[in-house]
Amino acid sequence: MGLEEPKSNRDVRRQAILEVARAVFAEEGYAAASMSSIAARVGGSKATLYNYFRSKEELFAAIVHARCEEEGSVVFNFDLADDDLPSTLQRVGEGFLRMITGDETMAMHRVILAEIERFPELGRIFYEGGPRRGILRLAAYLERAMAEGRLRPADAELAAEQFLTLCKVKYHFRRQYTGAPPPTAAETKAHVALTVDTFLRAYVTDSAA
C-alpha cells in the first residue's frame, strides 16, 4: 500500500488549485475553461487535478463554497441573542455591501450570469452556497426578535431577503451594469444606515419603537 500524501501538503495543493481555477473561470468563463487548462496553469497533470475534484462542476462548487466561507462567515458572524437591532443590522449590512460589491464577487457574478442559460446548475450552486446561507442566518436573528416582540410578526426569511436587497440594490446595480467603482467606506455606512432606518420603520413594533 502506498503512503498517503500528508494532509497539510494536500490542503496546500488544493488551495493552490482553487486560486488558479478561480482566476481561469473569471478570465475565460465557465464554458471555455477546461480542466486541462487549469491543470496546465497549476503545473500538474489533468489526472492529478481529478484526484482533488471529480469534475469541473465540483471544482466550481468548491470555489463558491470557499469564497462564501471566507466572506460570509465574517459578514454573518453575529450573536443571535444580541438585542441591539440597529447596530447588528448596520454591521451585517455594511459587511454584506462590501462583500457583494467586491472585485472577486463581481467577477463570480459575471461568470454565472454569462453561463446560466446553458448551465443553470451554476446559479443553484452559487445561491445555495452563498446568498441562501446568509439569508437563513439573518432570518434566524430576525425571527428571534419577532418572537420577543421587538419586531412585528412576519415571514422572517422574506424580511431577511428584503433587508439584504435594500442594502445591495443601489451600488451593486451600478457596479454590475456600469462598471462603477465599489462604494467608499463613508458611502457604505450612510447607505446602510438609511436601509436600517427604512427596514425598522417597516418591521419594528410600536412598543419597541
Neighbours of 153 (CB within 10 A): 11
**What is the domain partition of the chain in residue ranges?**
1-54, 64-203
Is 6's pLDDT higher than 70? no
Residues of the chain with pLDDT > 90, as a percent, come to 50
**CATH node for 64-203:** 1.10.357.10
Higher-pLDDT residue of 31 and 92 is: 92
- CA distances to 115, 122, 134, 138, 149 from 144, rounded to whole Å, are 38, 33, 16, 10, 9
pLDDT over 70 (residue 208): no
Using left for φ > 0, alpha for ψ between -120 and 50, and beta otherwise, residue 6 falls in beta
pLDDT class for 209, splitting at 50, 70, 90? low
Q: Which CATH number fits domain 1-54: 3.40.50.1460, 3.50.50.60, 1.10.10.60, 3.40.50.11540?
A: 1.10.10.60
Position 76 pLDDT exceeds 50: yes
Residue 115 binned pLDDT confidence (cut-offs 50, 70, 90): confident
Weakest mean pLDDT among 7-11, 53-57, 82-86, 96-100: 7-11
pLDDT in tens, 130-185: 889 899 999 999 999 999 999 999 999 999 999 999 999 999 999 988 989 999 99
The proportion of the chain whose per-residue pLDDT surpasses 70, expressed as a percent, equals 95
Q: How far apart are the C-alpha atoms of 23 and 108, rounded to whole Å?
A: 10
CA-to-CA separations, 49 to 57, 63, 123, in angstroms, rounded: 13, 14, 24
